[in-house]
C-alpha cells in the first residue's frame, strides 16, 4: 500500500471515505509514561481537542504551548459490516512530526515526516459492524536527522523545549483531516498524467497502476460533463479535441475517471480533476502553455489564530480571495508541503504553486535570517547525521511528488529553503535530491531551491543544479536598512550584476524579500517597522527587479504575519505580512494591487 496512500481519498461507487475529524481525546505525556502504562489501549483523562489543529494555541498555560515530546490522541470509529472483504485504512493528512498508530491496542504503523499523508492499513485489525479504537502517539521533537531541522533543549527544570533552525513556530499534532477509507482489494494504486499541446488539441499521456490484472479504462469529461476522450489500458494517450487549457486565472478542470472492470462487473473506480497545461523553462522565461508567465505572489505559511498550522477551510477560502483581489498568480508552499485541499483550491482558481518540501533549517542557527550574511559557517553538510537526513529527505521528495504530481497548479519543485550551500560538501547531497525529483516526476517540472543571502553568484556551490534560480534577499532589511536604503540598492544591484555574468540565460525569481511592518505604525518620514518604510523598501526592490530582464517573478515574504518562536527579533511573530495574521490588508497591499494588476502576464517575456 505504498503509493495508494498518496491518492486523495475520494469516494466512488467502489470506494468509501468517511471523515474522522472532530473532538479526539488528548493528553500530553509529560512524564513519558504513555508507553509503559499502556496508553495504546486508551488515553487517560477526559481532555478533548479538535482534529485537525495544532494543539499549542488552545491552552492558556505556557508549559502546554511550549510542550516538546509525545502527545497522545484517541478516538473511536465505527467500521460498517458491509466493508468486510475490502481494504480498510485510516488516512492521516499528516502527523507532525512522527506518529506511532495503534488500532485496538495493536501496533498498526509508524510514520516520520510531519507534512505528508500516510495510510495506515487496518483491514486485519478492526472488528466489523462495531466500534474500534485508534490511538496515536505523536512526537514533535526536532532533530538533524529529519526535515525540518532543529534541536531539543532540556531546561534546568527538566522541561524540554523546541529549538527550530527555522523561523516559524513548531506547531504540531494532527494538523490535517483524517479519513477512514475502504476500497476494493484490486484497486487503482496511483496514476499520472502529462501533456502535449497540438494546436488547439491536446494529448494527455497517462499511466495507471493497479494491484491486479483486470483491464483498465479511462475517460475524460469536461466541465459540462461531456465525454472529451476515452482510452483503455494501463498506459495510453487521450486525444482531446479543442482542449480547454488550464491557465493562470482560468482553472479549467477535466474529470479523469479510471475504471477497473471484469467484463460488465465494475471492480474499482477512481476519479480526480486534472488540468491540461504544459510548463517549461525556455531561456530566461518560465512558459505556461508555451507562453511566458511572470510570477507575482507570495511565500506563505499554513498559520492562523487558534488552530495554528491546522488545516482551516475558512482561512483557506479567505487567502484565495485575498490573493485574487491583490492580483497575485502564484505562491510558494514555504516551508513544507501544504494540506491537499489547498492544492485542489489552487487548481480551481488557476493559481500557480511552487511546491516546497520541508527541507528547512539546513544551516545550524536559531536566527539564520540574521546570521546568513555574517559569514558564519556551520559545516552542516559534513555532520555525521547527514546519511540519515538524506534518506529521509529523499523519501519526503518522493512522497511529495507522488502526492502532488497531478495538480495543474504545481509548476515547480522547491527542494530546500536556505541551506548552507557555501561549502562544497553540500553539492553531493544536492545532486541526489535533484536527481530524485527528476526521476519521480512524470512531468519533469523545473526544480529549484531558495537561496540564502550568503549564497551568491560566486559562493553558491549548488546553483548549477537549478532549472531556475530562486533568491531570498533582504537588502534594506537585515542588510543596510532604514536611511541606508540607497546603499542597499547599490549592493543589491552589485549582486544582480554578478548573477547576470554567472547565469544570464536562466530565469531568476525572488522567493523572498520583505520588511517587518507593524500594522499599527505609521510614521512620516518613515522608520523601519512603519508601513511607510515597508513601501519604500518594496519600491526599491521592485526598481531592481524591473531593471533585469531575467527576473521572472516576485514572491514577497510573506502573505500574512505569522507565528514564530519568541525572541528579541520577533514581536509576537514575524510581521513581514502584506496582510495581517487576521488577513486584513496593510498599506502595502494596495501598493501591490496597483503594481500587480498593471504588470502583464508575460512581463519580461
Under the rule (CB under 6 A), what is the footprint of ligand BDP? 166-167, 335, 368-369, 417-418, 472, 512, 557, 574, 576
Least distance from ligand BDP to the Cβ atom of residue 519, Å = 16
Which residue of the set 74, 418, 489, 532 is catalytic?
A: 418
* 512 classed as catalytic: yes
3-state class (DSSP) for residue 343:
helix
Q: How many residues in total does the chain contain? A: 605
Do residues 196 and 205 lie in contact, with contact meaning Cβ atoms separated by under 8 Å? yes
Least distance from ligand BDP to the Cβ atom of residue 454, Å = 11
Least distance from ligand BDP to the Cβ atom of residue 482, Å = 17
Least distance from ligand BDP to the Cβ atom of residue 151, Å = 17
* 144 classed as catalytic: no
Least distance from ligand BDP to the Cβ atom of residue 219, Å = 43
Cβ proximity to ligand BDP, 81 vs 567, nearer residue: 567
Give the number of other CB atoms < 10 A from CB of residue 95.
29
Nearest one of 223, 276, 273, 251 to 346, comparing CA atoms: 251
Cβ proximity to ligand BDP, 529 vs 557, nearer residue: 557
Least distance from ligand BDP to the Cβ atom of residue 155, Å = 25
Give the number of other CB atoms < 10 A from CB of residue 311.
23
Cβ proximity to ligand BDP, 559 vs 591, nearer residue: 559
CA separation for the pair 84, 268 (Å, rounded): 16
Q: In sequence order, what DSSP letters do the residues of 8-31 get, joined into one string?
A: ----BTTBEEEE--EEEEEEE-TT
Cβ proximity to ligand BDP, 189 vs 418, nearer residue: 418
DSSP 276: -
Least distance from ligand BDP to the Cβ atom of residue 576, Å = 5
Nearest one of 322, 277, 325 to 300, comparing CA atoms: 322
Nearest one of 284, 190, 192 to 2, comparing CA atoms: 190
CA separation for the pair 183, 267 (Å, rounded): 10
* Distances 403 to 118, 192, 334, 397, 580 between C-alpha atoms, Å: 10, 10, 17, 10, 31
Cβ proximity to ligand BDP, 335 vs 393, nearer residue: 335
Which residue of the set 302, 512, 532, 554 is catalytic?
A: 512
CA separation for the pair 114, 132 (Å, rounded): 25
CA separation for the pair 277, 259 (Å, rounded): 24
Cβ proximity to ligand BDP, 140 vs 574, nearer residue: 574
Q: Which residue is nearest to ligand BDP (CB)?
A: 369
ω into 385 cis (within 30 of 0):
no
Cβ proximity to ligand BDP, 270 vs 369, nearer residue: 369
Name 266's bridge partners. Answer: 261
Task: Count CA atoms within 13 Å of residue 531 on its CB side.
Answer: 14
Q: Which residues are catalytic?
A: 418, 512
Amino acid at each position: 500500500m505504498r503509493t495508494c496512500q498518496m491518492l486523495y481519498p475520494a469516494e466512488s461507487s467502489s470506494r468509501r471515505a468517511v471523515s474522522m475529524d472532530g473532538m479526539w481525546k488528548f493528553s500530553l505525556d509529560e512524564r513519558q509514561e504513555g508507553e509503559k502504562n499502556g496508553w495504546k489501549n486508551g488515553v487517560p483523562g477526559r481532555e478533548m481537542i479538535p482534529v485537525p489543529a495544532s494543539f499549542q494555541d488552545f491552552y492558556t498555560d505556557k508549559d502546554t504551548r511550549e510542550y516538546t515530546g509525545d502527545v497522545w490522541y484517541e478516538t473511536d470509529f465505527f467500521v460498517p459490516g458491509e466493508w468486510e472483504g475490502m481494504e480498510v485504512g485510516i488516512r492521516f493528512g499528516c502527523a507532525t512530526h512522527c506518529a506511532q498508530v495503534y488500532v485496538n491496542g495493536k501496533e498498526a504503523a509508524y510514520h516520520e515526516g510531519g507534512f505528508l499523508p500516510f495510510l495506515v492499513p487496518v483491514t486485519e485489525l478492526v472488528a466489523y459492524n462495531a466500534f474500534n479504537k485508534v490511538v496515536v502517539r505523536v512526537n514533535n521533537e526536532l532533530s538533524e536527522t529529519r526535515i525540518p531541522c532543529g534541536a531539543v533543549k532540556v531546561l534546568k527544570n527538566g522541561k524540554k523545549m523546541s529549538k527550530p533552525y527555522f523561523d516559524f513556530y513548531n506547531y504540531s499534532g494532527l494538523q490535517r483531516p483524517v479519513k477512514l477509507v475502504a476500497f476494493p482489494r484490486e484497486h487503482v494504486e496511483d496514476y499520472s498524467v502529462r501533456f502535449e499541446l497540438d494546436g488547439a488539441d491536446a494529448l494527455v499521456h497517462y499511466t495507471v497502476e493497479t494491484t491486479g490484472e483486470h483491464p483498465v479504462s479511462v475517460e475524460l469529461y469536461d466541465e459540462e460533463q461531456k465525454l472529451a476522450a476515452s482510452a483503455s489500458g494501463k498506459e495510453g494517450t487521450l486525444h482531446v479535441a479543442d482542449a480547454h487549457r488550464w491557465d493562470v486565472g482560468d482553472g479549467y478542470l477535466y474529470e479523469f475517471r479510471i475504471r477497473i472492470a471484469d467484463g460488465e462487473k465494475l471492480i474499482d473506480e477512481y476519479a480526480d480533476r486534472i488540468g491540461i497545461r504544459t510548463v517549461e523553462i525556455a531561456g530566461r522565461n518560465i512558459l505556461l502553455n508555451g507562453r511566458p508567465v511572470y510570477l507575482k505572489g507570495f511565500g506563505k505559511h499554513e498559520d492562523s489564530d487558534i488552530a495554528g498550522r491546522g488545516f482551516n477551510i475558512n482561512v483557506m477560502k479567505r487567502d484565495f480571495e485575498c490573493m485574487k483581489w491583490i492580483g497575485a498568480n502564484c505562491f510558494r508552499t514555504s516551508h513544507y508541503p501544504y494540506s491537499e485541499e489547498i492544492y485542489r483550491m489552487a487548481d480551481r482558481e488557476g493559481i500557480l504553486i511552487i511546491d516546497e518540501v520541508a527541507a528547512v533549517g539546513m544551516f545550524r542557527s536559531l536566527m539564520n535570517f540574521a546570521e546568513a550574511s555574517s559569514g558564519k559557517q556551520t559545516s552542516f553538510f559534513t555532520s555525521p547525521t547527514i546519511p540519515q537526513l538524506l534518506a529521509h529527505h529523499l523519501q519526503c521528495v518522493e512522497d511529495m511528488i507522488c502526492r502532488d504530481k497531478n495538480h495543474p497548479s504545481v509548476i515547480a519543485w522547491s527542494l530546500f529553503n536556505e541551506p548552507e550551500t557555501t561549502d562544497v560538501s553540500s553539492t553531493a547531497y544536492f545532486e541526489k535530491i535533484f536527481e530524485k525529483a527528476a526521476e519521480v516526476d512524470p512531468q519533469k517540472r523545473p526544480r529549484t531551491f531558495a537561496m540564502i543571502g550568503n549564497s551568491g553568484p560566486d559562493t553558491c556551490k549548488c546553483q548549477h543544479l537549478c532549472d531556475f534560480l530562486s533568491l531570498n534577499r533582504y537588502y534594506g532589511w537585515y542588510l543596510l536598512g532604514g536611511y541606508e536604503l540607497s546603499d542597499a540598492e547599490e549592493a543589491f544591484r552589485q549582486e544582480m550584476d554578478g548573477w547576470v555574468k554567472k547565469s544570464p540565460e536562466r530565469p531568476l525569481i525572488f522567493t523572498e524579500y520583505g520588511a517587518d511592518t507593524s500594522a499599527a505604525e505609521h510614521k512620516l518620514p518613515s522608520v523601519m517597522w512603519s508601513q511607510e518604510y515597508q513601501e519604500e523598501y518594496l519600491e526599491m526592490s521592485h526598481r531592481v527587479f524591473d531593471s533585469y530582464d531575467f527576473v521572472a517573478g516576485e514572491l514577497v515574504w510573506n502573505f500574512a504575519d505569522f507565528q514564530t518562536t519568541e525572541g528579541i527579533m520577533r514581536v509576537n511573530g514575524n510581521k513581514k505580512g502584506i496582510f495581517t495574521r487576521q488577513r486584513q490588508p496593510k498599506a502595502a497591499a494596495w501598493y501591490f494591487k496597483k503594481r500587480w494588476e498593471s504588470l502583464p502576464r508575460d512581463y519580461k517575456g
